[in-house]
Amino acid sequence: MFDTSKLLNISDITKRISGFFKLLIQLFFMVFLIPNSRYFMVVLPTLDCNYHCWYCIQNHVDSKMSDETLKRIKLHIGHMVNVEKIESLHLDWFGGEPLLYFHEIIEPVSRYAMGVCEKAGIPFMNSTTTNGYFHTKDKAQLCKELQFLQFQITLDGNREFHDNVKFQKGCESTFNHVLANIDRLLSLYEEINFVLRINYTHKNLSLR
């Protein structure tokens, strides 16, 4: 015979399991977020895009980050660096196509963030997920200046399939255009992290 008085009832077990998972969540925030203080912030300048890919789940609306939101982002960055004392800052630009408003939003926010981080003596970097169309000569040079160290660019298979999905008025081949922009970026940087994402369908997956 064993002492049933020492057994926990279902209610006690549930409470202990619930408490255990709460503790795990607290430990996660303590171990991975608070001590390291490596701050990662995703910024969306717009939901609009120069392409209208058939598979895109986003509703591309004519939009642009307001001046008030831009101001608040700067204030938030300043607070995180000077008050919360983060150890590094990483801005990741997303959209829509974020480079639609490169000079109006990305450049001023980045320059502010660079200045604040430099004054605090902490590392700063930019990254972006983009279709690669707007990395022209002047913007590519500015990307390096603004410490863009990582790019994720999407291609839709080979030139034929890509150009049928992504087309731009006045551009004979967006595939060739984007590859030229990628080559331009690679020639500017000694070290750069490129993520090339390829979208496959049943039509282009079996291409040789």
Q: What is the pLDDT of residue 4?
A: 42
Q: How many residues does the chain have?
A: 208
pLDDT one-digit tens code per residue, 69-78: 999 999 999 9
| Phi, psi dihedral angles at 34 (to 5 degrees) | -80, -55
Closest CA to 172 of 153, 159, 190, 186: 159
CB 172 within 8 A of CB 143: no
Asked if 170 contacts 127 with a C-beta cutoff of 8 angstroms, the reply is no
Torsion of CA 78, 79, 81, 85, to 10 degrees: 170
Widest distance between CA atoms in the chain: 87
Residue 174 class from Cβ within 10 Å (0-12 exposed, 13-18 middle, 19+ buried)?
buried
pLDDT of residue 21: 54
Per-residue pLDDT tens digits for 90-108: 999 998 899 999 999 999 9
142-196 pLDDT, tens digit each: 999 999 999 999 999 888 989 988 988 889 999 999 999 999 999 999 889 999 9
Give pLDDT, residue 169. 86
Of the pLDDT bands very low, low, confident and very high (cuts 50, 70, 90), residue 58 is confident
pLDDT at residue 140 above 60? yes
Sorting pLDDT into bands at 50, 70 and 90, what band is 18?
Answer: low
| β-bridge pairing 148-155 and 124-130 | parallel
Q: 77-88 pLDDT, tens per residue?
A: 999 999 999 999
Q: Give yes or no for residue 208 having a pLDDT over 90.
A: no
Kindly report the CA angle at 22 between 17 and 24, in degrees rounded to 5? 95
- The answer to whether 113 touches 86, Cβ cutoff 8 Å, is no
Dihedral angle sign, alpha carbons of residues 80, 82, 86, 92: positive
Express each pLDDT in 27-50 by its tens digit.
Answer: 544 444 444 588 999 999 999 998
Does the pLDDT of residue 67 top 60, yes or no? yes
Other beta carbons less than 10 A from residue 189's beta carbon: 15
pTM confidence score: 0.79
In 10 A of CB 103, how many CB atoms?
11
Residue 75 tokens read as: 């204030």
Which domains does the chain possess?
37-198 (3.20.20.70)
Distance from C-alpha of 110 to C-alpha of 74, rounded to nearest angstrom: 9
Q: What pLDDT shows up at residue 53?
A: 85
